[in-house]
Amino acid sequence: MGAIATITGQASAADGAVQYIVRANGNGTATNLTDAGFTVRHELAEGSVLVVTGPEGAAADLAAVRGITDATPDVSVDFDRPEVDADADELPSDGAALSDLQWDKQVTDVFPAHEYATGEGTSVAIVDTGIDLDHPDLGNVNEELGEAFVLDDDVPEIGPDDSGFHGTHVAGTVGATGEEGVVGTAPDTELVPIRVFPADGGATFGDILAGIDYAAEIGADAANFSLGIPGVQQPDSALNQLKAEIQTVFQSVTRQGTAITGSAGNDEGNLQGSGFTLPNSVPAVITVSATSPADTLSFYSNFGTSDIDVGAPGGWYETIPRTLGEEGEPDDIPFPLNGVLSTWPTDLESSVGLPGYDFISGTSMAAPQVAGLVALVRELDPDANANQVERAIKQGAELANGRSDPELGAGRINALRTVEAIADDD
């Protein structure tokens, strides 16, 4: 039950207006667009990228407005999850301490790393479905800073609360406090919920970009997005037109100091060469592949030296039969415990019968492992810029020779190695 977003169609509002992502090259462009009859929803990257709504088929009219260099219809995305067909095993009784089931934190040496840093004084923005504001292990959520950026919001009354489940699980992986059940990579960080999904699914790239731009505006140390388009796109793809706008916004965000962590995708796709996914296939993103409890690439994870920066635990093994225990090693973790355990909305049923917690898998679960590690690095070195933070995480990774491993990039992250190296330099 891991997740990555899949394209669901053109981004449009209930009134029929279509959303466009526009590149601009001059002051006053937003006014020019308004004068031409368009509505400007977001001004991003210091006004060089605009999110605009207007009539269907108006891309050419937009491009004709003074100050506009390009206009592309936005697309809507929703979650797509790798699946296996099996019954869930029985889990420990309700209310038990669950850290012993967090193999992901054990593999990456997170718990001993907390002797050096816990993320105190940092913040991580979760650009997702929102976060359960009532979860006992998520008492470090800053609801006041939380925002919702949703083109056609069907649950505006919930604000940054979770409209599904995905954001709550991601948030726990980053920074669950361990108050009752699980511990995140950075349990003392501040979590900022930025909801870009309505309850019925369908986040637009315009809103995703606005959410990440907002994360930089509030000074978040990291912004995690565990979403993206499915498959491997080629240079002639219509989606290639969005790549420049995404890169412009993301580079603006990282220049402001916010590191961006993104999931590589769940399509077993080779991103080598000219192939790409969005929004993670731009240089400003720390793109994360998913690994198993055995430190193998999970069977669903995308790979490719042109895109993958590091690997991190995402759950399940390198094959479905090993995931289900039909083959493998005697000490393999059984299904579903070989998924990633994290927080779950308290008002939703847990698929494993453990209220408030669930095991799911995907590159969506791998990216927040790295976002939490960004918080640990920033606690120890608050003046490090986004590139320096990424470099420290890569230098602390293991299991790869160099930084061009097609599956793991610089390697599978190791929190203890990373923070020890920073502490030794002080």
Question: What is the DSSP secondary structure assignment for residue 46, as one 8-state letter?
Answer: G
Calculate the CA dihedral of residues 124, 129, 134, 135 and round it to 10 degrees. Answer: -70
Best CA proximity match to 169, nearest among 254, 96, 81: 81
Catalytic residue among 137, 213, 364, 405: 364
Annotation says 135 is catalytic: no
Structure tokens at 307: 């895109």
**Closest alpha carbon to 258 in 217, 312, 227, 288:** 217
Place of tokens 């592949």: 289
Nearest to 342 by CA among 134, 138, 113, 114: 138
CA 231 remoteness from chain centre? 17
Considering 42, 114, 135, 166, which one is annotated as catalytic? 166
Distance between CA atoms of 132 and 139, rounded to whole angstroms?
10
- Residue 128 known to be catalytic: yes
Of 160, 204, 213, nearest to 43 by C-alpha is 213
Radius of gyration for the chain, computed over Cα atoms and rounded to the nearest angstrom: 20
Residue 48: active-site member: no
* Residue 284 Cα to chain centre, angstroms: 14
What is the distance, to the nearest Å, from the Cα of residue 341 to the centroid of all Cα atoms in its chain? 17
Kindly name the residue from 74, 109, 128, 309 that is annotated as catalytic.
128
CA separation for the pair 290, 361 (Å, rounded): 9
Catalytic (active-site) positions: 128, 166, 364
